[in-house]
């Protein structure tokens, strides 16, 4: 059996976290899912549409919001009672975090950024995983009976299937320390527009945009396409844009349907943060810039002259 940790935020299913369920179902007919917190009940119906048959719901008075260590402790109870051969998550911030707590408590190896898994005998499994945000892949052996694997987000497309959605509730044994680190408040949100990580379209600017005022047209294009604004590291270092907009391996990793890189040459760490976008368009003066090796389409030219025309033409096409 493979145990999959699926995440929800106050009852709203995290669609990215379901990708690990699709990965598990491709490997094993026996897959069980863990949801943590009573609000997880609201996510059950949707979860069943991704083929979840058996869902364990961890319910506890103290599980009022996301608490990583408590989620790990709940999963560990299922490790004891259900004896899975693997625990899978999608490598979202929460997915990686909960799995790493499990790995630390068990003193077991964990593989992150996983693309594929081959279960082996005698406690040695093989994984293929991303390095440098997918610029390289690594084949690695994991030396432990229980395989802990966090799949690279968007490496697998979540597939619909009819699941029974049977829920079994249990109350994990938790103490105060297990929920000491938990979400205590939230700031920002819908008012700030489309978030970078969930945007379908991202219009991103780099050094070639020329300066902070160059982002006016980028904002306009993003608005027209109902998208978000992104930028490269040099842009935040220069103070042109807030660092919350920085796309990159160590900033925000994104995988929108369309990524438009304007005046971005494509440093390794930037590419690592956007390479799994479905379509990448590069607008750049340099036809040999590294970004050209990753873009599907390119326009050779100055983003500062092309963007205003593109905004006008896009606006006209919408009318």
Partner 1 sequence: MNIAVCAKRVPLSGGRWELTADNLDIDTSGASVGFTTSPHEECAAEAAVQLVEQLGGSSTVITLGVADSEEQVRSLLAVGVDRGVIIETDGSEWDPQATASALTEQIKAGSPEGAYDLVLLGTEAADTADFQVGIRMAHALGWPVVTNVKGMTIDGGVARCERAVGSAREVYEVTLPAVITVKDGLNIPRYPSVPGRIKARKKPVDTVIIEKPAARLEKVRLDLAVEEARSAEILGTGVDAVPALVEIFKNIGVL
Q: What is the C-alpha radius of gyration for the chain, rounded to an integer number of angstroms?
A: 21
- Residue keyed to tokens 């395989």: 147
Beta carbon nearer to partner 1, 54 or 276: 276
In order of 106, 119, 177, 218, 229, the CA distances from 56 in angstroms are 21, 24, 23, 45, 39
> Per rule CB under 8 A, is residue 68 in the interface with partner 1?
yes
Q: Are 225 and 193 in contact (CB under 8 A)?
A: no
> Per rule CB under 8 A, is residue 71 in the interface with partner 1?
no
Taking the complex as a whole, the smallest distance from the CB of residue 311 to partner 1 amounts, in Å, to 10
Beta carbon nearer to partner 1, 213 or 287: 287
> Per rule CB under 8 A, is residue 187 in the interface with partner 1?
yes
Q: Across-strand partners of 258? A: 201, 279
Taking the complex as a whole, the smallest distance from the CB of residue 169 to partner 1 amounts, in Å, to 26
Q: How far is CA 9 from the centre of its chain?
A: 14
Beta carbon nearer to partner 1, 164 or 312: 312
Contacting residue, 37, 40, 51, 134, with partner 1 by CB under 8 A: 134
Beta carbon nearer to partner 1, 166 or 279: 279
**157: exposed, middle or buried (C-beta count within 10 Å: 0-12, 13-18, 19+)?**
exposed
- Site for partner 1, residues 82 to 101, rule: CB under 8 A: 91, 93, 96-97, 99-101
Contacting residue, 252, 254, 255, 304, with partner 1 by CB under 8 A: 252
Ordered DSSP codes for 62-96: T-SS--HHHHHHHHHHHHHHH--SEEEEE-SHHHH
Tokens found for residue 110: 């964990």
Q: Which stretch binds partner 1 (CB under 8 A): 19-27, 39-47, 124-132, 212-220?
A: 124-132
> Per rule CB under 8 A, is residue 55 in the interface with partner 1?
no
Taking the complex as a whole, the smallest distance from the CB of residue 209 to partner 1 amounts, in Å, to 16
In 3D space, the residue among 227, 234, 269 whose CA is nearest the CA of residue 252 turns out to be 269
Q: Report the C-alpha gap between 89 and 107 in whole angstroms.
A: 18
- Site for partner 1, residues 268 to 297, rule: CB under 8 A: 268-269, 275, 278-279, 281-282, 287, 290, 292-297
């Amino acid at each position: 059996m493979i145990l999959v940790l699926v995440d929800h935020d106050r009852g709203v299913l995290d669609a990215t976290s379901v990708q690990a369920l699709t990965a598990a179902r491709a490997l094993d007919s026996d897959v069980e899912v863990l949801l943590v917190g009573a609000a997880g009940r609201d996510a059950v119906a949707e979860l069943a549409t991704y083929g979840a048959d058996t869902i364990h719901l961890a319910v506890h008075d103290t599980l009022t919001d996301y608490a990583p260590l408590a989620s790990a402790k709940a999963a560990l109870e299922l490790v004891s009672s259900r004896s899975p051969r693997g625990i899978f998550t999608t490598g979202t911030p929460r997915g990686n975090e909960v799995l790493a707590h499990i790995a630390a408590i068990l003193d077991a190896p964990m593989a992150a950024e996983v693309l594929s898994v081959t279960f082996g005998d005698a406690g040695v499994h093989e994984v293929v995983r991303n390095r440098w945000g997918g610029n390289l892949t690594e084949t690695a052996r994991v030396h432990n009976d229980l395989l802990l694997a966090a799949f690279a987000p968007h490496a697998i497309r979540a597939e619909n299937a009819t699941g029974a959605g049977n829920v079994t509730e249990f109350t994990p044994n938790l103490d105060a320390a297990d929920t000491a680190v938990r979400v205590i408040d939230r700031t920002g949100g819908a008012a700030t527009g489309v978030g970078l990580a969930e945007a379908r379209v991202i219009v991103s600017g780099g050094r070639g945009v020329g300066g902070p005022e160059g982002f006016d047209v980028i904002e306009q294009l993003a608005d027209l396409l109902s998208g978000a604004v992104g930028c490269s590291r040099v842009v935040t270092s220069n103070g042109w844009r807030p660092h919350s907009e920085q796309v990159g391996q160590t900033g925000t990793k994104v995988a929108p349907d369309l990524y438009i890189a304007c005046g971005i040459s494509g440093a390794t760490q930037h590419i690592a943060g956007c390479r799994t976008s479905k379509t990448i368009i590069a607008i750049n003066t340099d036809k040999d810039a590294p970004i050209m090796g990753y873009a599907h389409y390119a326009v050779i030219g100055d983003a500062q002259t092309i963007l205003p025309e593109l905004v006008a033409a896009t606006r006209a096409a919408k009318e």
